[in-house]
Amino acid sequence: MKIEAITLRELRMPLKHFFETSFGRTEERRVLLVTVDCEGVEGWSECVAGEGPFFSDEWVDTAWATIREFLAPSLLGRNLAHAKESAARMSPVRGHNMAKAALENALWDAEAKATDQPLWKLLGGTRSEIDCGVSIGIQDSHEQLLEKIETELAAGYQRIKVKVKPGWDVDVLSKIRKRWPKILLSCDANSAYRPSDLAHLKKFDEFGLLMIEQPLWHDDIVQHAKFQRELKTALCLDESIHHARDAEAAIEMKACRIINIKVGRVGGFSEAIAVHNVCEANQIPVWCGGMLETGIGRAHNIALSTLPNFKLPGDVSASKRYWTEDITDQEIEVTPRGTIVVGNAAGTGYVPKKKLIDKLTVRKEVLRSNAAVV
């Protein structure tokens, strides 16, 4: 697989409804797409960096610059036997996992197409139908949130996750539980609490939550372990896990009982599989997180979710929850039983709508190697 060109595109896409977390509100996405050209085969991916450095220290402009200046030059003109070899080539660059993942994942899509197999099988997936949940942001009112939950439950989603922060937590969870005593319910704090909030978080225990996601600092493991010892509810780490070694450390310290895998956050499919395997070996179930992706990134999340230790419903939901029109020919659809059925087409099976992508593109750059390298 010779990497002949890498194309970066930025699209602007308004969300149907704003998405608010403890770190801010997003109304419009800046979507960064990556295409690799490998001897007549195109691989596509989406870089999940956000509009600003708030979920992590990466954002669209750092990802674009890091790909252009450092990561793409380490790959252009090279002939790789497998997409996973790209990870070692890019490893001299520290961090910038979302930028790295965008390149590696586009290569996996290209490899799957070049070898005429579905991406999920190439990744080692074993399930042909995945379980879906939804992540619902902070709303303008409790009523608005309850309405949204009702809509998603009616659509069949198997797990509801709500965003929480100080001032939008115990009251909200208690109203949800009163109305739906039995649903699978979890919450995500995106690092909104501090160790002094322990007594407050203990109140969450009465709601029978599946998990509390990332209550403390984005880069912490030690204090989460202290919280996990004190709380009945399982903790799940998201922001704190950047690679398999973080997962090992968190498990060894008993900082969580569940881990959320986002392929962008851990730097690509090969590291996502490594995190999955560490968790599986330690009986820690994982689930696939989302980053408000378009169909292109979502298709990669679906493929990853077919691995055997993805035992809990992921934040992998239908295109129509986010977009008036998604940028893949077939939109991501969820069955009335709250699942996505995975197909057998080569690659992700979701084909980019190039005309629509061109129309939405505000910036484009094609990178090619100027030196002859192999």
Q: Which residues are catalytic?
A: 163, 262
Task: Please name the residues in contact with 42: beta carbons below 8 A apart, sequence gap of 6 or more.
Answer: 35, 36, 110, 113
Which of ligand OSB, Mg ion, none interacts with 233 (beta carbon under 5 to 8 A by kind)?
Answer: none
- In angstroms, what is the minimal distance from the CB of 56 to ligand OSB? 9
DSSP letter at 322? T
Q: Give the number of other CB atoms < 10 A from CB of residue 187.
A: 25
Task: Please name the residues in contact with 259: beta carbons below 8 A apart, sequence gap of 6 or more.
Answer: 236, 237, 241, 247, 250, 275, 279, 284, 286
- In angstroms, what is the minimal distance from the CB of 73 to ligand OSB? 29
Which of 170, 173, 98, 178 has the alpha carbon at shortest distance from 136? 173
Nearer to Mg ion, 267 or 289 (CB): 289
DSSP letter at 206? G
Cβ(224)–Cβ(258) below 8 Å: no
Asked if 293 interacts with Mg ion (CB under 5 A), we say: no
Asked if 56 interacts with ligand OSB (CB under 6 A), we say: no
Nearer to Mg ion, 131 or 188 (CB): 188
Task: Please name the residues in contact with 101: beta carbons below 8 A apart, sequence gap of 6 or more.
Answer: 45, 47, 48, 263, 264, 265, 266, 267, 268, 269
Q: Which stretch binds ligand OSB (CB under 6 A): 57-65, 67-75, 76-84, 284-292?
A: 284-292
- In angstroms, what is the minimal distance from the CB of 115 to ligand OSB? 29
Q: Which stretch binds Mg ion (CB under 5 A): 66-74, 113-121, 208-216, 273-281?
A: 208-216
- Residue from 32, 37, 55, 111 touching ligand OSB (CB under 6 A): that is 55
Which of ligand OSB, Mg ion, none interacts with 135 (beta carbon under 5 to 8 A by kind)?
Answer: ligand OSB
- Residue from 190, 191, 305, 319 touching ligand OSB (CB under 6 A): that is 190
Which of ligand OSB, Mg ion, none interacts with 326 (beta carbon under 5 to 8 A by kind)?
Answer: none
Q: Directed axis angle between helix 295-304 and helix 269-281, to 10°? A: 30
Cβ(266)–Cβ(237) below 8 Å: no
Interface residues with ligand OSB (CB under 6 A) are 21, 55, 135, 188, 190, 238, 289-292, 315, 317
